[in-house]
């Protein structure tokens, strides 16, 4: 069961990571740093926050608190990145840290209690916490992308008006067991 859980969650995280990247690919450099207003975050700021969270939560997660003393959470929301490359470096570093930690979970350590701000979590609880947190922010990234692209946005899911065709193609196939992300990863067809 542990392997099924870890495989499923990894696929879901990879799926949401890809949604962020497919959004970045549609945007100009300027659009990555656009803010709706002073109280809103740019895509780059959201990426910076995810990076800070991922490094803090998952660096030495079995032995140190997930809110590291070196983390500067408030600074994560400053819209001060200058280039797409700098943003992508943070994006990739954060996800690499997270996936390395996720890949290190096994039967020997799964029952370890880990801490985030002195609050104990099972490893499964900590993963589930981030399975809610990271997609929440990726959804913000996608929404901002849709706002700035307006009618030029290319849908990352079933396009408007395409549900009937999409469902008909699905129901033409025999019933089978598959993770919803497998089709997306193989064919880039949204599920």
**Residues 36 and 50 occupy one common structural domain:** yes
**Residues 68 and 161 occupy one common structural domain:** no
**Residues 87 and 60 occupy one common structural domain:** yes
Domain span holding position 89: 2-154
pLDDT number for residue 177? 83
**Residues 60 and 107 occupy one common structural domain:** yes
pLDDT number for residue 111? 94
CB 90 within 8 A of CB 44: no
Question: What is d(CA 96, CA 90) in angstroms, rounded to the nearest whole number?
Answer: 10
Q: Could you report the per-residue pLDDT of 50-78, keeping only the tens digit for each?
A: 999 999 999 999 999 999 999 999 999 99
Please give the average per-residue pLDDT across 119-126, as a whole number: 97
pLDDT number for residue 190? 45
The per-residue pLDDT of the chain, averaged, comes to 93
Whether residue 31 is predicted with pLDDT greater than 70 in this model: the reply is: yes
Whether residue 123 is predicted with pLDDT greater than 70 in this model: the reply is: yes
pLDDT number for residue 166? 86
**Residues 117 and 33 occupy one common structural domain:** yes
Higher pLDDT, 182 or 79: 79
How many helical (H) and strand (E) elements, i.e. helices and strands, does the chain have? 7, 2
Q: Kindly indicate the confidence band of residue 15, based on its pLDDT and cuts at 50, 70 and 90.
A: very high
Specify the CATH number for the domain of residue 59.
Answer: 1.20.120.450
Question: What is d(CA 45, CA 95) in angstroms, rounded to the nearest whole number?
Answer: 16
pLDDT number for residue 176? 84
**pTM for this predicted structure:** 0.91
Of the chain, the percentage scoring pLDDT greater than 70 comes to 95
Whether residue 44 is predicted with pLDDT greater than 60 in this model: the reply is: yes
**Residues 181 and 119 occupy one common structural domain:** no
Gyration radius from the chain CA atoms: 18
How many domains does the chain divide into? 2
Question: What is d(CA 61, CA 124) in angstroms, rounded to the nearest whole number?
Answer: 13
Q: Could you report the per-residue pLDDT of 130-183, keeping only the tens digit for each?
A: 999 999 999 999 999 999 999 999 999 888 898 998 899 889 989 888 777 776
Query: What are all long-range contacts of 75-80, with beta carbons under 8 Å and residues at least 24 apart?
Result: 76/45, 76/48, 76/49, 76/51, 76/52, 77/41, 77/45, 77/48, 77/49, 78/45, 78/48, 79/33, 79/35, 79/41, 79/42, 79/44, 79/45
Whether residue 112 is predicted with pLDDT greater than 90 in this model: the reply is: yes
């Amino acid at each position: 069961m542990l392997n099924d859980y870890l495989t499923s969650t990894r696929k879901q995280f990879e799926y949401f990571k890809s949604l962020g990247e497919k959004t970045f690919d549609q945007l100009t450099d300027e659009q990555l740093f656009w803010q709706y207003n002073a109280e809103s975050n740019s895509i780059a700021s959201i990426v910076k926050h995810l990076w800070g969270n991922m490094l803090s939560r998952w660096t030495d997660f079995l032995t140190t608190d997930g809110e590291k003393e070196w983390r500067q959470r408030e600074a994560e929301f400053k819209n001060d990145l200058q280039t797409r490359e700098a943003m992508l470096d943070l994006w990739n570093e954060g996800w690499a840290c997270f996936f390395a930690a996720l890949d290190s979970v096994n039967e020997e350590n799964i029952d370890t209690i880990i801490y985030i701000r002195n609050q104990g979590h099972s490893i499964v609880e900590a993963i589930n916490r981030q399975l809610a947190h990271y997609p929440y922010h990726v959804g913000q990234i996608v929404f901002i992308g849709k706002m700035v692209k307006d009618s030029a946005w290319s849908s990352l899911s079933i396009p408007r008006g395409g549900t009937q065709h999409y469902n008909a193609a699905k129901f033409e196939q025999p019933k089978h067991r598959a993770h919803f992300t497998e089709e997306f990863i193989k064919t880039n067809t949204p599920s």
